[in-house]
Amino acid sequence: MSSSLHNQARWSMPRWLFFVSTAAVIAGAIGLGAAFATRPNEGWLWLVVNFVLFWGIASGMLAWAAAFRVAQATWTPVINRFAHSAVRTAPLLFIVLIILIAGLRGYVPWIEHPAKGKEAWLSVPAFAVREIIAALLFWGMSWLLVRWSLAVDAKPDVPDADARRLNGVAVVVVVVFALTSSIVAWDFVMSLAPEWVSTVFSAYYFCTNLYAGMAVLVLIAAALRKPLGLEDRLKPHHFHDMGNLLLAFSLFNMGLFFAQYVTIWYENLPDEVWFLILRYDKGIWPPISWTSFILGYSIPFLLLQSRMIKLSSKLLSMVAVMVLVGVGVERYILVVPSLTPAHLVISPVGALSVLGFAGMFVVSIGWFLSRYSPISSADEVLEK
């Protein structure tokens, strides 16, 4: 098992991709810097949007690696290693989190206008403590999962003790993922509209993170299958399985959306209904909101009925891009209308910031995959 593993080629990121990704990071930093210097409110809004989006994608990828380990999946040793690469985004995402905590006065409404009955929860100390603890807990457990998996790669076989240790930490990562994603949803989306109440939204957020995380894994697998010589390990049926997961989560997330929508609609409570009316019924936001829903969930659901699309890495990648665009726009409409209900806040700063975070994502994942085997030895043994 290990001889082929150790001889497996690492990925060498093409120079053009490294240059483009680095340029995107620099452009994004310049764009956000200019926004903070001239229009700080816009800078904070886009920083929150990107944090909610890319934190969700990275955590969703790692949650898949943990979930596959818990399920003892036999078809995912390569996919798991691609998912492990998301751990390299942790330092930069943590820095962004600290910046957002330090700048709370620039974008949250509850500091100047305390939310009645929620003062203890919506306070700067409580916000900072729970976010930092949540981040350290999730990324710490994820780091252990990845580190222990990489440690097994250097061994001629997989000792039972190592397998049990990986199984145990994977269970913890899955549980912590749901908890920490919920905290991010409460603090960086729901607290921007502190009067809004929803018991479903946190579940919706972490399930859509899994959806977006799988879409990124599809893109990585399709892009690196040939450069890494993984044609025998990433066959059409592997893409078919990933396509089925995308199909399942497109349906499940639409179900969660309408469970929340219908419940709020028939209750017709002012504290709940305004959030959805603003985005999906009246004003400037409904065209964007419904476009993101149709593009990110409805169309992928229909396209993924086709077995031919799921068996083709190229066609499935197109669907994955559609998913990411839809989810990305959805993150925008979850954040921005709460603070600027009458303004779209669409500008070059927004585009540059998204490109900057995407560039950071590519460089971080590229760094990881250039140093470690693309096959997880601990998961490969499950195939045998």
**Span 229-275, pLDDT tens digits:** 999 999 999 999 999 999 999 999 999 999 888 888 887 777 788 89
Task: Report whether 321 contacts 299 (CB < 8 A).
Answer: no
Residue 383 in any domain: the answer is no
Task: Give the separation between CA 173 and CA 176, rounded to whole angstroms.
Answer: 5
**Would you state the pLDDT for residue 2?**
46
Could you write out the DSSP letters of every residue in 328-379? HHHHHHHHHHHH-TT----SHHHHHHHHHHHHHHHHHHHHHHTTS-SS-HHH
Close Cβ partners of 383 (under 8 Å, ≥ 6 residues apart): 74, 75, 77
> Is 65 inside a domain boundary?
yes
Residue 305 has pLDDT above 80, yes or no: yes
Instruction: Give the pLDDT confidence score for residue 158 in this predicted structure.
Output: 75
Nearest to 320 by CA among 221, 175, 176: 221
Kindly report the pTM of this predicted structure: 0.95
Q: What is the extent of the structural domain holding 219?
A: 2-378
Going by C-alpha positions, the residue among 372, 274, 343 that lies closest to residue 45 is: 343
317, part of any domain: yes
pLDDT tops 60 at residue 292? yes
Report how far apart, in Å, the C-alpha atoms of 125 and of each of 104, 130, 180, 248, 334 are.
11, 9, 17, 39, 24
Write the CA distances from 254 to 217, 260, 284, integer angstroms.
Answer: 21, 10, 23
Residue 10 has pLDDT above 90, yes or no: no
Q: What is the pLDDT of residues 28-75, one digit of tens each?
A: 999 999 999 999 999 999 999 999 999 999 999 999 999 999 999 999
- As for how many domains the chain has, the answer is 1
The letter for the amino acid at 76 is T
- Other residues' Cβ atoms within 10 Å of the Cβ of residue 349: 23
Rounded CA-CA distance 49/350 in Å is 9
